[in-house]
Amino acid sequence: MTHNLPDLDTYQTQGYLIARQLFCPEAMAELQSIVERIHRQWAAENGDLIRANRLLNMHSLTDSRYFKEQAAERQTLFAWITQPAITGWLTGLFGDELYFHNSQLFFNPLDREQLPYWHRDLQYSTVTDEAQQSEQGQLLALHLRVPLLPECGMALIPGSHRRWDNHLEREVRFELNGHQKHEYLPGSVLINLQPGDALLFDAQMLHRGHYQSNSARLAFDICVGNYHPFTAAFLNKTVLPDQAEMAQLANHDWYRRAWQIAESLG
Ligand SMILES: O=C(O)CCC(=O)C(=O)O
């Protein structure tokens, strides 16, 4: 497939890009069968945690714990993540310092009344809001969302990757002065995606899920970025291919860089 992929200028203005039908149905079917199996295993092992914490996502889908009897599937998933349609596009946009950081899967909460919440991803880490704000220009933390089902599942505030919150956004995000974190925020856009599409967005822009108009949701997010101590601290070696797996990959640059970062952190 040849594509006119959205460009860096648009990304720099909006903080997100949509590539329509980047993946063919066969590629989507291959991803779907692996991801759904991992999700079933995780859900079967974590029922209490899912209910207690009202979870709407899981992470680390490439962890070897999901492939004890499916070694070939792990190889397929690593190759899927670094297929040329993805690495070619992202390297063209951001250069060749990118590394694979992790993956996540987003689904609907069990409680269909549960409301989504505006956030910037590092908000739920130990990095202070002030530190995040001052490093905003240095951070490149990206999600490449690959929906397995049609979804109208993500709200974003275009341009919020280049600035910090205005007064209302801050009050909503931190639930100050009677505001709630799910409230409508002016300027937000709701993103419609079909299987085969890809949504690239800055993890530090203002965003929230959108659950209620999707009867089901299953969105696989590939997390990549450039090295920064705030995000690299969360890199876990268990999600990376081992040396034998790396040797079989046509393109292992993102994983090699991840290993270099992980080893440098000890
Ligand atoms: O899709 C969702 O439910 C929310 C996604 C999100 O918050 C994220 O990707 O960080």
What is the per-residue DSSP string for 128-160?
-HHHHHHHGGG--EEEEEEESS-EEEEEE-TTT
Instruction: Give the pLDDT score at 241.
Output: 98
Pocket test for ligand 1, best of 54, 105, 208 (most atoms within 8 A of CB): 208
**Rounded distance from Cα 225 to ligand 1 centre (Å):** 17
Indicate the burial class of 9 (C-beta count within 10 angstroms; 0-12, 13-18, 19 or more). Answer: exposed
pLDDT in tens, 234-251: 999 999 999 999 999 999
CB-defined site of ligand 1, < 6 Å: 56, 106, 121, 143, 153-154, 207, 209, 219, 221
Instruction: Give the pLDDT score at 266.
Output: 76
CATH number for 8-265: choose from 1.10.760.10, 2.60.120.620, 1.10.10.10, 3.40.50.10380. 2.60.120.620
Instruction: Give the pLDDT score at 5.
Output: 84
**Rounded distance from Cα 252 to ligand 1 centre (Å):** 27
| Regions of the chain with pLDDT less than 70 | 1-2
Location of structure tokens 């006119």: 4
- Given a contact cutoff of 8 angstroms between Cβ atoms, the answer to whether 173 and 125 are in contact is no
pLDDT in tens, 89-118: 999 999 999 999 999 999 999 998 999 999
Instruction: Give the pLDDT score at 2.
Output: 52
**Rounded distance from Cα 187 to ligand 1 centre (Å):** 18
**Rounded distance from Cα 248 to ligand 1 centre (Å):** 32
Residue nearest to atom 1 of ligand 1 (CA): 209
